[in-house]
Structure formats: structure tokens, C-alpha cells
Amino acid sequence: MPQPSNPLASDRRGVMFVISSPSGAGKSALSRLLLQSDKDISLSVSVTTRPRRPSEVDGVHYHFLSVKAFEALRDRGDLLEWAEVHGNFYGTPRGPVELALAEGRDVLFDIDVQGTLQLYTKMRSDVVSVFILPPSIPELERRLRRRAEDTDAVIARRLKNAEGEIAHWGDYDYVLVNADIEKCFGELKQILAVERMKRHRQTQLGEEIARLNAELAAEAARLS
Ligand code: 5GP
């Protein structure tokens, strides 16, 4: 007998998986691990006016734009959200996200609190948000310095902004402390796994229920 299709394995709307944290809390490393280990999620590549770091590749980590080009995109309504963070503009291109969600693919967003709040107002039921906390502020500073790609002034600015960012922990669906990256990554994967199964994302459930009801009716008729 043919097996019924499993509605939990496919035919669902994609998750907008948002990860935010103060700079240095380990969000980028967690994002990288997730993207490497899970083929069903892809990164929303943001546009930014920040200068490219030596290790970054244009089109992979960000699309690096002039302020003028950024403003043109924004003013045309091509950004799903945008914000000024640490003195630079960042934004999420709309097209790739809308396409992925409609095709049932998940999208990972490495965006700040302001961007997360904008996504809530537009697409709250699609968004699952996770805030990553550092285990301590000295550890946060150590991680920022270890990256060794930013100047002292940039690091100082990012540390100064951490307080305001951490204050928004209560706006997120989940909060994780990244003391141990493996443990934190495991928790992140669990969140994504259960969120994928949420009823409102199972777009085929109506058909599954109709099929079960038809089978019930047929069985009732056979037994009467
Ligand atoms: P970084 O310069 O370290 O790559 O990123 C600085 C901050 O900007 C991080 O908190 C990052 O999450 C945030 N960010 C990156 N892309 C976007 C975006 O498209 N929108 C918003 N709102 N924030 C972003």
C-alpha cells in the first residue's frame, strides 16, 4: 500500500530564522556551523555600506555598496528591513527572502535588534528569533580582539553598543548563552527543528486531514 506523504518532511512554509547578538558573542560562528550542517537553510546576504574586512568576500558575506547605491535600493522598497548599526547602513534584500519562503526553504538572518523588530511588524508568524548572549563582558571583549580585523576604535564602539543591544533580550523568542559553542549550536539546532514542525507552517495539513476524513467516511460506510 502506498504510504501517505509525511507532511512534516516537506510542503511547509520556510522559517525566517533570525539570530542577533552583540558583536563578538559568537553569532557568526554559530551561523556558519548551521549553514554548513543543514542544507535546508541559506543565508540572507545583506547589503551594507561598511568597508569589507580582509576575510570577507563580496556577494558571500555581504553585498558591499556605496551609501548612494544603498539609498537607491532602500528608496525603491527593495529592502525588507534596514538599519544603521555602529555608524554603517545594513539591509536585507527582499526578493531572495520572499522566493525562499514561498518555496518552503528556510532563511537565516544575521541582523540586529532594529531589523528584527521591523521583520516582526511585517511577517511575525514567519519569524523565529534567537538572541545570543556572551557568558561575560571580558569574554566578549576577548572575542572581539581575537578576530583582529577591526581597529581599537571600532572594537570600543561595538563594546559600548553592547549594553543597548543586550537590553533587547526580551524581544526575542529564545535566548541562549554562548559559553560553549558546541552546546549552544546544539540548542540552536533543536530550536530550528521544532519550529519547522509548528502547525501553522504545515501548509499541506488541510489536505492530510481531508484524506483522513475521507478514509473515515469510507470505513464507516463499509462497517454500516
Ligand atoms: P558586522 O559589521 O559585524 O558584520 O555586523 C554588525 C551588526 O549589523 C551585527 O549585529 C549584524 O547582525 C547587523 N546586521 C548585519 N546585516 C544586517 C541587516 O541586513 N540588517 C540589520 N538590521 N542588521 C544587520
Residue by residue, DSSP assigns 7-41 as: TTTSSBPPPEEEEE-STTSSHHHHHHHHHHH-TTE
Identify the DSSP state of 126.
G
For ligand 1, the distance from its centroid to the CA atom of residue 41, given in whole angstroms, is 19
Please name the residues in contact with 92: beta carbons below 8 A apart, sequence gap of 6 or more: 44, 46, 47, 79, 80, 81, 82, 109, 111, 115, 119
Q: Whose CA is nearest to atom 11 of ligand 1?
A: 111
In this prediction, residue 43 carries a pLDDT of: 96
Quick one: which of 111, 76, 75 has its CA closest to 91? Answer: 111
Atom of ligand 1 nearest to the CA of 116: 22
Q: What amino acid occupies position 170?
A: G
In this prediction, residue 115 carries a pLDDT of: 97
Number of C-beta neighbours around residue 213 at 10 A? 10
Q: CA 57, 32, 134, 52: dihedral to nearest 10 degrees?
A: 0
pLDDT in tens, the chain (224 residues): 344 333 333 588 899 999 999 988 999 999 999 999 999 999 999 999 999 999 999 999 999 999 999 999 999 999 999 999 989 999 999 999 999 988 889 999 999 999 999 999 999 999 999 999 999 999 988 988 887 777 888 888 888 889 999 999 999 999 999 999 999 999 999 999 999 999 999 988 999 999 999 999 999 999 99
Beta strands in the chain (DSSP E): 16-20, 41-43, 47-48, 63-64, 79-85, 88-93, 106-110, 127-133, 174-177
Domain 9-223 CATH superfamily: P-loop containing nucleotide triphosphate hydrolases (3.40.50.300)
Atom of ligand 1 nearest to the CA of 88: 2
Question: Is the shortest distance between the CB of 118 and ligand 1 below 6 Å?
Answer: no
Region for 26 from its dihedrals, namely left if φ exceeds 0, alpha if ψ lies in -120 to 50, beta otherwise? left
Spans of all domains in the chain: 9-223
In this prediction, residue 146 carries a pLDDT of: 85
Question: Is the shortest distance between the CB of 50 and ligand 1 below 6 Å?
Answer: yes
In this prediction, residue 9 carries a pLDDT of: 39
Query: Are residues 202 and 11 in contact, defined by beta-carbon separation less than 8 angstroms?
Result: yes
Cα–Cα distances in angstroms (integers) from residue 221 to residues 28, 56, 214, 224, in the given order:
58, 65, 11, 5
Count CA atoms closer than 13 A to 16's CA, side-chain side: 24
